[in-house]
Structure 1
Amino acid sequence: MDVADLVDIFQAFGPVRVKRMFGGHGVYRDTLMFALEVDGTIFLKADDSSKSLFEGAGARPFAYARQGGRTVVMSFWSLPDAALDDPAEAARWAELAFAAARRAQQAKMQRGMKPKLKPKAGAATRKN
């Protein structure tokens, strides 16, 4: 699958940017990656709010084997087949994926802004 194919699939979703990565492509809207294409399969970002919708549509999670044989399952699920030929359906799934990507970004920012409540074990503390 090439860049033009990916842009075409998501045309009803709006303008997307495609970057080559991991032997496939990352698909972005604004600064958020909401889709990943690997070996001709499109995977969309999912989370606890949307995962059951992907499962119900017969989608499968993106997984890969790491060095040492451990399998890693990521929070990306395959685009349902019906959406490949239906731009409106692809846009509907892309909206779900983009919303999941936004929630993940917000959670990451909140985690980064939390103050440390206690020092790490073995860390020196200052007494006045």
Structure 2
Amino acid sequence: MLDDLMFCLIAGETLYFKADGCNRPDFEAEERRSFLYEPPSGKTFAMSYYELPECL
């Protein structure tokens, strides 16, 4: 966290970075997967966090 803002998360052994309208196309161009959240309700949805690109 930086200034109370979450900009990344780790799930399992995968690092995900927060994406927005400016950088989301870059993650998608690299074919990075978004983080999928599976709450107890069973409905899975994609969050705005994407896998770390391999070039980094």
TM-score relative to the length of structure 1 = 0.40
- Structure 1 residue 72: deviation in Å? 1.7
CA distance in 1, matches of 2:38, 2:5: 25
The alignment yields a C-alpha RMSD, in angstroms, of 1.4
Q: Where in structure 1 are there 5+ consecutive unaligned residues? A: 1-27, 84-128
4+ residue runs of structure 1 moved beyond 3 angstroms? none
Give the structure with the larger helix fraction: 1
Q: Identity rate of aligned residues, in percent?
A: 36
Over alpha carbons, which structure has the higher Rg? 1
Aligned residue type for 1:64: Y
Give the structure with the larger strand fraction: 2
Aligned residue type for 1:56: A
Secondary structure in structure 2 of the residue aligned to 1:53: helix
TM-score relative to the length of structure 2 = 0.81
Count of equivalent residues:
56
| Greater length-normalized contact order (CA 8 Å, ≥ 6 residues apart) | 2
Secondary structure in structure 2 of the residue aligned to 1:81: coil
